[in-house]
Amino acid sequence: MLVARALSKQFGSLTVIDRVDFRLADAEAVGIVGPNGAGKTTLLNLLSGAMQPSAGQISYRETDIKAQDAAARCRLGIGRSHQVPRPFIGMTVFENVLVAAQQGGQAQGADAYQRGVEALQACGMVEHANRRAETLGLLDRKRLELARALATKPDILLLDEIGGGLTDGEAEVLVRIIQRLRQGGIAIVWIEHIVHILVQVVDRLICMDAGRIIADGSPSAVLENQAVMSAYLGGGVV
């Protein structure tokens, strides 16, 4: 449903994404791993519309979306979270998800309330509903980031390191949340350093290094790949 061809992104003379081809099928879950600075977040930014590619094509459901900005893509059904959470700090947790339901999800009145509450429930944030987002700790900010993306009613969720810093128990909860979303038919692209969390959810794994995709396939095949091992300097990935 989401297809990118020969995608490149340069910052000045620095090439951060180098002719990447990427394809996501309906309801598919893909994990992206790779060392720091590999270009994972930048790829996500190009897919979500937060950044314009220097070259290449992006289409969604056979429609060219390169000219659409992030807001338009969100309304089409591409939701995302940010690696460093970006809550609306002057608004409450509930207002954060509500505005997402109203804008990205294009829901009105009680429908928007309903979707907001559901998104908070899915992420275990209901009890914080009336807190100002500014007062949340990092973990809750990450949950809010996920809840807000969910409230936009996405068909594709682009997730950027929402699992970092979680305890084992919390990670388990997160995995269950994402698994339930998958069952609901949402396609997922999930960037995560913690591979053992990732492999519980995804059916495909991509490894990036220096702006390129160096491996793409089933999680077990990718993790045994020699190039992937050396990209991580031989350090145990799993």
Partner 1 sequence: MTQYYGVERGTSRTRIILIITSCLVVALACGPALMSANILDHLIVLFIYIILAISWNALAGYGGLISVGQQAFFGIGAYAAIRLSYYGVPVYLALPLGGAAGAMAAGIASLFMLHLRGGEFAIGMWVLATLIQQLVSLDPLIQGSTGTSLLALNHFAPASRRADTYWLSLAVLLGLLGALFWLLRSRQGAAMQAIRDDEEAARSIGVAVAPTKRLAFVFAGLGAGMAGALWLAASITFQPGTYFGVQWTAYMIFMVLVGGIGTFEGPILGAILFFALETIFGATGVWYLIGLGAVSVGFALFAPRGIWGALEARFGWRLLPVGYRLVLGPGFARDKTASSIVQSDHHA
Give the binding site for ligand ATP (CB under 6 A): 11, 16, 34, 36-42, 83
C-alpha 52 chain-centroid distance: 17
Report the relative pairing of strands 2-11 and 14-24 from DSSP bridges.
antiparallel
129 binds partner 1 (CB under 8 A): yes
100 binds partner 1 (CB under 8 A): yes
139 binds partner 1 (CB under 8 A): no
In the bound complex, what is the minimum distance in angstroms from residue 206's beta carbon to Mg ion?
Answer: 14
130 binds partner 1 (CB under 8 A): yes
**Residue 222 and residue 205 in contact, taking contact as beta carbons nearer than 8 Å:** yes
In the bound complex, what is the minimum distance in angstroms from residue 176's beta carbon to partner 1?
Answer: 8
User: What are the angstrom distances between the C-alpha of 61 and each of 1, 25, 44, 58?
Assistant: 5, 10, 18, 10
The radius of gyration of the chain from alpha carbons, rounded to an integer in Å, stands at: 17
Binding residue for partner 1, selected from 43, 65, 98, 187, defined by CB under 8 A = 98
148 binds partner 1 (CB under 8 A): yes
3-state SS record for 181-229 = HHHCCCEEEEECCCHHHHCCCCCEEEEEECCEEEEEECHHHHHHCHHHH
Partners of residue 3 on adjacent β-strands: 23, 59
Q: Closer CB to partner 1, residue 15 or residue 103?
A: 103
Taking residues 22 to 61 in sequence order and writing x for each that binds partner 1 by CB under 8 A, - otherwise, the string is --------------------------x-x-----------
41 binds Mg ion (CB under 5 A): yes
First-last CA distance in the chain: 29
- Candidates 7-15, 123-131, 164-172, 184-192: pick the segment binding partner 1 (CB under 8 A): 123-131
175 binds partner 1 (CB under 8 A): no
Binding residue for partner 1, selected from 102, 142, 222, 225, defined by CB under 8 A = 102
Q: Given the structure tokens 């900010």, which residue do they identify? A: 141
Phi, psi of 61 (to 5 degrees): 50, 50
In the bound complex, what is the minimum distance in angstroms from residue 223's beta carbon to ligand ATP?
Answer: 17
Nearest by Cα to 43 from 166, 153, 158, 132: 158
Q: Given the structure tokens 């094509």, which residue do they identify? A: 57
Element housing 238 (H / E): none
Q: Closer CB to ligand ATP, residue 77 or residue 145?
A: 145
Residues found near Mg ion in the complex (CB under 5 A): 40-41, 83
Residues found near partner 1 in the complex (CB under 8 A): 48, 50, 69-72, 74-75, 79-80, 82, 86-92, 94-95, 98-100, 102-106, 108, 110, 113-114, 117-118, 121-124, 126-127, 129-130, 148-149, 151-152, 173, 177
